[in-house]
Amino acid sequence: MGNVFDYIKNEGRRSLRELEFGPVDALILSQLTYLNFDYVFSDYAYTMADKEPRPLPLTVITPFARSRLLFKNIRAEQDCERLYRLFARSKRFRDACLSGFVNEIDLVEEKQFSAVIFKLPDETDFVAYRGTDMTVIGWKEDFNLTYKNPIPAQAAGAEY
């Protein structure tokens, strides 16, 4: 049985018009939310009040991948780097843009919220949310999920 790398190598040769968007495509985009887009979007600040965030093509993002800043201090760093490189080279996604990146960490509210919009070549917008991570605030948020509804990150996600 193949894995996500096999999928993007094989199906990445086909456009979204040739093969419609599916669950593995959603998995790929969701995994990419864990990359350090903070470095990329620091010059392109976005707040939740912005109505039309400016989309960034992969040509703007890829130099950050070359410098390895996108992958700094993340889990499975090498796998994430490999996935991004396959994603950026694929016929399926190479013309995608990213916009609306938000990364909010609030220690008082015990909230971590991160999301980005992938503007796909077929004109589809895919909103991808990052889950909790292995930080202390991530663990606190996981515990809060057991008794609190909604947690602050869920409210932020609904607003986003």
pLDDT tens, N- to C-terminus, the chain (160 residues): 699 999 999 999 999 999 999 999 999 999 999 998 888 887 665 555 555 667 888 888 888 877 887 888 788 889 999 999 999 999 999 999 999 899 999 999 999 999 999 999 999 999 999 998 888 999 999 999 999 999 999 999 999 9
pLDDT for 125: 95
Residue 97, in any domain of the structure: yes
Phi-psi label, residue 2: left if phi above 0, alpha if psi -120 to 50, beta otherwise: beta
Total structural domains within the chain: 1
The pTM score is 0.87
Residue 160, in any domain of the structure: no
Residue ranges making up the domain that contains 85? 4-107+115-131
Helix (H, G, I), strand (E, B) or coil at 126: strand
Query: Tens digits of per-residue pLDDT, 44-73?
Result: 655 555 556 678 888 888 888 778 878 887
Cα Rg for the chain, rounded, in angstroms?
Answer: 16
- Which has the closest alpha carbon to 35: 75, 6, 5? 75
